[in-house]
Chains A and B, each alone.
Chain A
């Protein structure tokens, strides 16, 4: 069985297709792992294993079960976004992303833990329980898709989907030694994905390797534009399964504003620099470029995302679904429901966003942040006239200890330093594990122009082959985390 869990998803799918493995066997093996979860990775598992379709073996994803972040609505299944305000909520419809992957042959294994409403970088903002990092259980898995990352890293799930608003797929992938891809904004339908900041939110895969990420992305975008999400667009090509082994002729840009920032830990920088050498060994050319406004990305992001969140989260008012508190009048119903139902970080962001949008402050904060966003997008456009891809560290640090950054919101927000500029510009970005520092995984982030996912995946694949990162030390620890 441990060999079964060591198979990459593409390998497992191949065994299923060859008739060496049945989808039911695969599901029950992972189901057993997920039931023994001591990482806090899952918020919900079906009581009975979800039936595998008789045709799963012939489906493109061959019945390989998928862990789904609890931000995706699934009809009749508890969907909380890890918030008390949605405790007991069972949506009347299913998110397009989940529906498409199920139709391609990836049934849902369970719903994974996360930071409440995807707000956080450590998964400590879950209203239910924090998630532990399978590499070291006294450390965080990152966030907000921390449960999705921990489940895959710990071998509780073969692969998963998460969401990324300012780094919520890439940073947990980095901290858990996994591949995490945030697609170009609009590539994947947001229908049924509980909204945090609608102009930034994107769904994407968290997987053990680059090929698995390509496979999931292929089926996430394959159906084309979703009429239920007016911001979704047709992906201009089919997503190819990467086979590239070298980076010959590729021009890669390094951004000193991000990779040399004081916030980047020395151990992370060492792995980053070693990866740049690998790029050159593989035939790629590395040159310095400048994204002069990227250092202001975090400021713009922490105005725009909370501003959008404050509007999106106004729907949680105790009237149509979820929690209701209060004592009599309607105003008290609203104010008490929201006070009781939201956690500290969600309240903080609603306050920040409401303040930034309030009369007298709107132009100084929201208006300026929107202009910074324009400058950041322009910086990237200029950079991509000189280079094919831009690379940075994913996270300024390796996985930090539980509780280490909870007292200081700004210290936590700094986790997103290298990931928010791409989000603001709507660009695709992938994080791959590039090595270890202090025995913990370090991620390497690759970004390209809009809809350049195939280029990104090819480069990531070539680097992955050369790096040969071993993710197995974290697997199988789910049942008995070393303490």
Chain B
């Protein structure tokens, strides 16, 4: 089960501004899905190693040679608001204050 308060907390973590209606709906829909998912709680998994990746590969590194990267103007071409040299955003200081951190 997941309640309204938890939905709001998770939405904040996920940087999603949900409407009131979305919060209500999300609480009930997520609870439904979690009810199903929670069946894995019944399994005995104590000595089982977790799997994060199924193909055995290790230390995939390329040679440490310099090579051309994406040209700056092409990297900036899709930005909603770009300067000549970077992405422009509002001051993060205001966000930090609003976030209470």
Contact = CB atoms under 8 A, between A and B. Distances in A.
Given A299-B37, A329-B95, A371-B49, A319 B89 contact: yes
Contact of A233 (B10, B41, B55): B55
A321 B98 contact: no
Contact of A338 (B15, B37, B79): B15
Contacts of A386: none
- Secondary structure at chain A's binding surface: helix, strand, loop or mixed? helix
Interface stretch (A61-69, A216-224, A350-358): A350-358
Interface in A371-388: 371-375, 377
Given A299-B36, A354-B14, A425-B54, A320 B30 contact: no
A303 B37 contact: yes
Interface string A332-353: 1111101100100001101110
A95 B100 CA distance: 41
A222 B99 CA distance: 50
A355 B57 contact: no
Contact of A331 (B36, B87, B98): B98
Interface in B2-34: 2, 6-7, 9-11, 13-19, 22, 26, 29-30, 32-34
B68 interface: no
Contacts of A375: 43, 45, 48
Contacts of A408: 32
A365 B37 contact: yes
A89 B78 contact: yes
B10 A450 contact: no
Given A338-B17, A358-B13, A367-B50, A185 B55 contact: yes
B26 A351 contact: yes
Contacts of A374: 48-51
Please tell me the size bucket of the interface on B: 35 or more
A373 B50 contact: yes
Contact of A333 (B30, B36, B90): B90
A230 B50 contact: no
A324 interface: yes
Between A323, A326, A328, A329, the greatest number of chain B beta carbons within 10 A of the residue's beta carbon is seen for: A329
Interface in B85-101: 87, 89-92, 94-95, 98-99
Contacts of B6: 355
Contacts of A365: 37
A296 interface: yes
B94 A329 contact: yes
A310 B41 contact: no
Contacts of B53: 199, 231
Interface string A100-114: 000000000000000
A409 B32 contact: yes
A410 interface: yes
Nearest to B77: A92
Given A328-B90, A329-B91, A329-B95, A347 B18 contact: yes
Between A331, A368, A373, the greatest number of chain B beta carbons within 10 A of the residue's beta carbon is seen for: A331
A116 interface: no
Given A370-B52, A374-B51, A410-B36, A339 B79 contact: no
B35 to A, nearest CB: 8
Between A184, A199, A354, A413, the greatest number of chain B beta carbons within 10 A of the residue's beta carbon is seen for: A354
Interface of B: 2, 6-7, 9-11, 13-19, 22, 26, 29-30, 32-34, 36-41, 43, 45, 48-55, 57, 60, 62, 70, 74-75, 77-81, 87, 89-92, 94-95, 98-99
Given A231-B60, A348-B30, 18 more contacts: A90-B77, A231-B57, A296-B39, A298-B36, A299-B36, A302-B37, A324-B80, A328-B94, A329-B98, A331-B98, A339-B19, A351-B7, A368-B40, A369-B37, A373-B50, A413-B33, A424-B54, A450-B55
> Which 9 A-B pairs give the minimum distances between C-beta atoms?
A426-B54, A370-B50, A324-B80, A330-B95, A321-B78, A331-B95, A335-B17, A329-B94, A371-B45
9 contacts: A91-B78, A331-B94, A350-B16, A351-B11, A354-B14, A369-B40, A370-B52, A375-B43, A413-B33
